[in-house]
């Protein structure tokens, strides 16, 4: 049995807490919001973010970071990406040398273009930082539906320890050393999901969505590999797998926000209606900045940025994508064929 604290009481944090408790671990959930902790104590469920998923009365609940962090075997950092740095900074004084933190948020810090594990390591240099990601809606994990994820860590021993802590017959965990690829894939798929949602909101069909998913993973892969990631990762759970589930499911807040934007709402109106953090909005600018830094063509992500931040009509953005200059799907295949 491990002593585990989940730092963050959003839908994903709650879902993972139920997995960990089912596995027999001593679990505590932390939130900065006293009203949220009081609701969890009274209702034993998050009635707004994950209704119907019941928490055990034995679950620890606290607003004290010191209580949540000190003397715990594993800390699961489950806050929105925009709060990763500030939360890590607040945790630092309570984290012991070598204490294990597994980040489960998805995003790239806009101001620095850093992946989240690097942000955490910068703020808490004494910690052993890992990540967990994959195609995993909280609504389904909370209900115990079969799900697979991947743990990324700097060393195999750490990855296998986290694998053992989380894995059960409903929640299968793989391991990988490619933390960069896992994080870039997990962050940028949210931007493509916004585009897929916009297409849905415009009334386009399955053909359009298939095109966005396929060309979307091509864009993400080009950038991630240029940054130093491994191509196998982008065609695994945290690349194409996460992209498919986020573009196709109504559980996806990014797709839902995209639908509303496609129907004519502004970015802010869409975010207000979804009533949850839409990570793709925060990752879109960072993705575009990285594309420029590494000189990578990312036309879908470029058009999403124009819709989000330049008030470009979504229909016009789709038309511009369709009317781009003619090109080969894989230019290198022609080069090989003509040798």
- DSSP H/E element including 285: helix 279-294
CATH 3.30.260.10 applies to domain 180-333: no
Q: Phi/psi of residue 3, each to 5°?
A: -95, 115
pLDDT by position in tens, the chain (length 339): 899 999 999 999 999 999 999 999 999 999 999 999 999 999 999 999 999 999 998 999 999 999 999 999 999 999 999 999 999 999 999 999 999 999 999 999 999 999 999 999 999 999 999 999 999 999 999 999 999 999 999 999 999 999 999 999 999 999 999 999 999 999 999 999 999 999 999 999 999 889 999 999 999 999 999 999 999 999 999 999 999 999 998 888 889 999 999 999 988 888 888 877 788 888 999 999 999 999 999 999 999 999 999 999 999 988 888 777 777 787 788 888 887
Rounded Cα–Cα distance for residues 47 and 2 (Å)? 27
Domain with CATH 3.40.50.720 in the chain: 3-177
User: Taking the chain, what is the end-to-end CA distance rounded to the nearest angstrom?
Assistant: 60
User: Structure tokens of 318?
Assistant: 């789709």
- The pTM of the full predicted model, rounded to 2 decimals, is 0.93
Rounded Cα–Cα distance for residues 223 and 180 (Å)? 11
- DSSP tag of 169: S
- DSSP tag of 108: B
Active site members: 189
Rounded Cα–Cα distance for residues 291 and 33 (Å)? 37
Compute the chain's Rg from CA coordinates: 20
| Topology of the domain comprising 3-177 | Rossmann fold (3.40.50)
17: nearest Cα among 94, 80, 76, 101: 76
Rounded Cα–Cα distance for residues 112 and 119 (Å)? 9
């Amino acid at each position: 049995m491990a002593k585990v604290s989940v730092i963050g009481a959003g839908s994903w944090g709650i879902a993972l807490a139920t997995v960990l408790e089912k596995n027999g671990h001593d679990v505590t959930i932390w939130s900065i919001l006293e009203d949220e902790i009081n609701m969890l104590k009274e209702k034993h469920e998050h009635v707004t973010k994950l209704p119907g998923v019941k928490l055990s009365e034995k679950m620890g609940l606290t607003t004290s970071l010191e209580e949540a962090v000190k003397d715990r075997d594993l800390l699961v950092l489950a806050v929105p990406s925009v709060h990763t740095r500030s939360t890590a900074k607040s945790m630092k004084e309570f984290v012991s040398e070598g204490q294990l933190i597994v980040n489960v948020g998805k995003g790239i810090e806009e101001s620095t273009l850093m992946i989240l594990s690097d942000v955490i390591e910068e703020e808490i240099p004494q910690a052993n930082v890992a990540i967990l990601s994959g195609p995993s809606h909280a609504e389904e994990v909370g209900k115990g539906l079969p799900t697979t994820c991947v743990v990324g860590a700097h060393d195999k021993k750490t990855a296998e320890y986290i694998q053992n802590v989380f894995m059960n017959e409903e929640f299968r965990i793989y391991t990988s050393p490619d933390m960069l690829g896992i994080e870039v894939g997990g962050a940028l798929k949210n931007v493509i999901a916004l585009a897929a949602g916009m297409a849905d909101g415009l009334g386009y069909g399955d053909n359009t969505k298939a095109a966005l998913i396929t060309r979307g993973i091509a864009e993400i892969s080009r950038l991630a590999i240029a940054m130093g990631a491994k191509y196998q990762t982008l065609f695994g759970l945290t690349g194409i797998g996460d992209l498919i589930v986020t573009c196709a499911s109504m559980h996806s807040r990014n797709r839902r926000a995209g639908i509303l934007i496609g129907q004519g709402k502004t970015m802010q109106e869409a975010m207000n209606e979804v009533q949850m953090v839409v990570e793709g909005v925060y990752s879109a600018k960072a993705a575009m900045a990285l594309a420029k830094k590494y000189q990578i063509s990312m036309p879908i992500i470029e058009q999403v940025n124009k819709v989000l931040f330049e008030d470009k009509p979504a229909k016009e953005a789709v038309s511009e994508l369709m009317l781009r200059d003619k090109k080969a799907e894989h230019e290198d295949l022609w080069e090989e064929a003509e040798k």
